[in-house]
A and B are shown apart, each in its own frame.
Chain A
């Protein structure tokens, strides 16, 4: 019995020592959500660990999962590619802010068509995904590509079978450019696709497009670039034909108004501007305005502050587009609403 008491005391002392040590040495910031920004968050986290000693434990379980986890308060911050609406944010007392911008690009598998050789516009893309344009030599596609040799081949559309921010951005774009799409399908992280085949994840869509002759799909820009897929050019709102490059994604963010009131929930699809890529979107982070653990939330915000300061080059390297400096200032200023932030001091 005496041995047992001693053991208990020993264990308690040890546990106390360990917990004191962790508090003193380093904090692990916990977050969960969108898969799309995971590569850049991971890269930022490893650099931040070197700079501050604090680590980040980010589970890329998907935007839906991220929203659920922050609502059940199991993580310090949630991440979502789909911005929550102002009423939703208010209902849960959440603060929302964007971190980086990405672009979605259509990719095709057509014999003899190189990356960037094919041009599409919004209504045509919507009609292809509605199943109304079913052959590659359709007059609508021919009109946009007079110099491309288009085969008499059936178009197979490929879409995401899992819910995703990519789908949200893409369907939001189609809803803006096609009334019929907006009436029949609308936009969300998962929709009732009128036609085509579904594949899981960006890699699944890329794989299916690569395997299926005559197919068209949509993936995150980084995927198209890294896998050397035959992306298409798009006709934007100003009627200009643009290529999917980082500058074009940044251009679509430049014209947008970023408003604290709606949690910076601006959708970047079909933005005006001669250089704007029409299918772009930001990815968002969610924290509580009145967090249960103020210190943890403060550490999370400090991480993002550091990322806004020092992380632009890392984002560029991974084909994400960082925000302009004035938007970043607005974002950091909005953190004043978070209890315990105190400007990060």
Chain B
């Protein structure tokens, strides 16, 4: 190899020299991008390692029961992660419950039904929502949404569901205005732009000929969207939802403002609770004692795994969907 290169050098033909330079450039480029990719893996491994090391005293002291213990008592140093895990998962589910249908609705309207002059303003407004810092959502939530929910929405919900067995317990009073449900709503607003922006983009990739064919067969707008556009774009839609879910699981500041920061699991969704990231943000600076800070770091480790599990589950779902769709055609 070296010999050949040397001989080529000796011949010094300008064409081969250029070729050699290109090859070197390619190799450089390969190594550069490889380094970027490896960096991600290194950071990933580093985060897991440092979290585990930091959490080790708590892992040793509490063991696996940490995962299903609800107690969180800094005075006696008894810590458990159940309440924050519950809060994290439930607020994210509430957020998806509202954000997914609304986000897809926005996307359908923007791509199919919206009059042209309105398309850009609405699209830009939705994207701007994604750019608002989370602390602004938190302040807005606390000062505008909480009083509104406390005085109007929550009493209404409590009254409306008071006769229905399961819902009666999920929406039990008193209306604090602050709580799991409020945090879920804020997260819904925050994740909405991710879902709608990505969904709109993938809807636009649906070949017009497919839609036109469906319309030509006499399908209604609803049927075209439900049977043609959504199935064609489902990978992208699920991707958008995953991204939104990732943000909802890790969101800290806005949630801290409106969730009530109470280490409890209540039957009612209207009651205060806490999430993993909110607990860490609230308590880390003043975490005294030998186990308090490690317990918070272990919470961080758990959030890491919760996110990985949720994203893996979403991937699996996507894979299943694809296989089923593949089998049908």
- Interface residue from A65, A156, A212 paired with B285 (Cβ < 8 Å): A65
Q: Does B267 contact A (CB under 8 A)?
A: no
- Interface residue from B147, B173, B179, B281 paired with A211 (Cβ < 8 Å): B147
Interface centre among B151, B178, B261 (most CB of A within 10 A): B261
Q: Does B174 contact A (CB under 8 A)?
A: yes
Within 8 A of A (CB), among B139-186: 142-143, 146-147, 150-151, 173-174, 176-179
Stretch at the interface among A21-29, A191-199, A217-225, A284-292: A191-199
Beta-carbon contact of B142 and A197 below 8 Å: no
With A63-B286, A198-B260, A212-B178 in contact, is A207–B73 under 8 Å at CB? no
Beta-carbon contact of B261 and A197 below 8 Å: yes
With A200-B282, A211-B143 in contact, is A191–B256 under 8 Å at CB? no
Q: Does B262 contact A (CB under 8 A)?
A: yes
Interface centre among B75, B257, B263, B274 (most CB of A within 10 A): B75
Closest to A171 in B: B75
Q: What distance in Å separates the Cβ of B71 from its nearest Cβ neighbour in chain A?
A: 7
- Please give, as numbers and ranges, the residues of chain B lying within 8 Å of A189 by CB-CB distance: 74, 286, 288
- Interface residue from A163, A198, A204 paired with B272 (Cβ < 8 Å): A198
- Interface residue from A164, A196, A197, A208 paired with B286 (Cβ < 8 Å): A164
- Please give, as numbers and ranges, the residues of chain A lying within 8 Å of B322 by CB-CB distance: none
Q: What distance in Å separates the Cβ of B108 from its nearest Cβ neighbour in chain A?
A: 36
Q: Does B72 contact A (CB under 8 A)?
A: yes
Beta-carbon contact of A163 and B71 below 8 Å: no
Q: Does A61 contact B (CB under 8 A)?
A: yes
- Please give, as numbers and ranges, the residues of chain A lying within 8 Å of B9 by CB-CB distance: none
Beta-carbon contact of B285 and A197 below 8 Å: no
Beta-carbon contact of B282 and A192 below 8 Å: no
Beta-carbon contact of B286 and A163 below 8 Å: yes
- Rounded to whole angstroms, the CA-CA distance of A186 and B281 in the bound complex is 24
Q: What distance in Å separates the Cβ of B67 from its nearest Cβ neighbour in chain A?
A: 19
Beta-carbon contact of A64 and B287 below 8 Å: yes
- Please give, as numbers and ranges, the residues of chain A lying within 8 Å of B75 by CB-CB distance: 185-188, 190-192
- Rounded to whole angstroms, the CA-CA distance of A321 and B146 in the bound complex is 36
Beta-carbon contact of B74 and A191 below 8 Å: yes
Within 8 A of B (CB), among A144-195: 154, 156, 161-164, 185-193
**Binary flags per residue of A45-82, CB closer than 8 Å to B gives 1, else 0:** 00000000000000001111101000000000000000
Q: Does A274 contact B (CB under 8 A)?
A: no
Beta-carbon contact of A211 and B285 below 8 Å: no
Q: Does B283 contact A (CB under 8 A)?
A: yes
- Please give, as numbers and ranges, the residues of chain B lying within 8 Å of A130 by CB-CB distance: none
- Please give, as numbers and ranges, the residues of chain A lying within 8 Å of B150 by CB-CB distance: 211-213
- Please give, as numbers and ranges, the residues of chain A lying within 8 Å of B177 by CB-CB distance: 211-212
Q: How many residues of B contact A (CB 8 A)?
A: 35
Interface centre among B143, B178, B281 (most CB of A within 10 A): B178
Beta-carbon contact of A161 and B282 below 8 Å: yes
With A63-B286, A163-B287 in contact, is A199–B261 under 8 Å at CB? yes
What is the count of residue pairs linking A and B with beta-carbon distances less than 8 angstroms? 98
Within 8 A of A (CB), among B172-205: 173-174, 176-179
Closest to A201 in B: B282
- Please give, as numbers and ranges, the residues of chain B lying within 8 Å of A64 by CB-CB distance: 285-288
With A163-B287, A211-B142 in contact, is A156–B176 under 8 Å at CB? yes
Q: What distance in Å separates the Cβ of A267 from its nearest Cβ neighbour in chain B?
A: 16
Within 8 A of A (CB), among B101-156: 142-143, 146-147, 150-151
- Please give, as numbers and ranges, the residues of chain A lying within 8 Å of B71 by CB-CB distance: 192
- Please give, as numbers and ranges, the residues of chain A lying within 8 Å of B142 by CB-CB distance: 207-208, 211
- Please give, as numbers and ranges, the residues of chain B lying within 8 Å of A207 by CB-CB distance: 142-143
- Please give, as numbers and ranges, the residues of chain A lying within 8 Å of B178 by CB-CB distance: 197, 208, 212
Within 8 A of A (CB), among B246-280: 256-257, 260-263, 272, 274, 278
Beta-carbon contact of B74 and A197 below 8 Å: no
Closest to A165 in B: B286
Beta-carbon contact of A154 and B286 below 8 Å: no
With A63-B286, A200-B256 in contact, is A212–B146 under 8 Å at CB? yes
- Rounded to whole angstroms, the CA-CA distance of A197 and B257 in the bound complex is 11
**Binary flags per residue of A283-317, CB closer than 8 Å to B gives 1, else 0:** 00000000000000000000000000000000000
Beta-carbon contact of A163 and B262 below 8 Å: no
Beta-carbon contact of B146 and A211 below 8 Å: yes
- Please give, as numbers and ranges, the residues of chain B lying within 8 Å of A164 by CB-CB distance: 286
Beta-carbon contact of A163 and B283 below 8 Å: yes
Q: What distance in Å separates the Cβ of B171 from its nearest Cβ neighbour in chain A?
A: 16
- Rounded to whole angstroms, the CA-CA distance of A139 and B287 in the bound complex is 38
- Rounded to whole angstroms, the CA-CA distance of A159 and B101 in the bound complex is 36
- Rounded to whole angstroms, the CA-CA distance of A200 and B284 in the bound complex is 12
Q: What distance in Å separates the Cβ of B177 from its nearest Cβ neighbour in chain A?
A: 6
- Please give, as numbers and ranges, the residues of chain A lying within 8 Å of B286 by CB-CB distance: 62-65, 162-164, 189-190
Closest to B173 in A: A154
Beta-carbon contact of B147 and A200 below 8 Å: no
Beta-carbon contact of A162 and B260 below 8 Å: no
With A192-B263, A193-B262 in contact, is A161–B283 under 8 Å at CB? yes
- Rounded to whole angstroms, the CA-CA distance of A187 and B288 in the bound complex is 13
A-B contact pairs, 8 of them (CB 8 A): A62-B285, A62-B286, A197-B260, A197-B261, A199-B261, A207-B142, A211-B143, A211-B150
Apart from A64-B287, A161-B261: 17 A-B pairs, beta carbons within 8 A: A63-B288, A64-B285, A154-B174, A156-B176, A163-B285, A163-B286, A188-B288, A190-B287, A192-B74, A193-B262, A197-B178, A197-B260, A197-B261, A208-B142, A211-B146, A212-B150, A212-B178
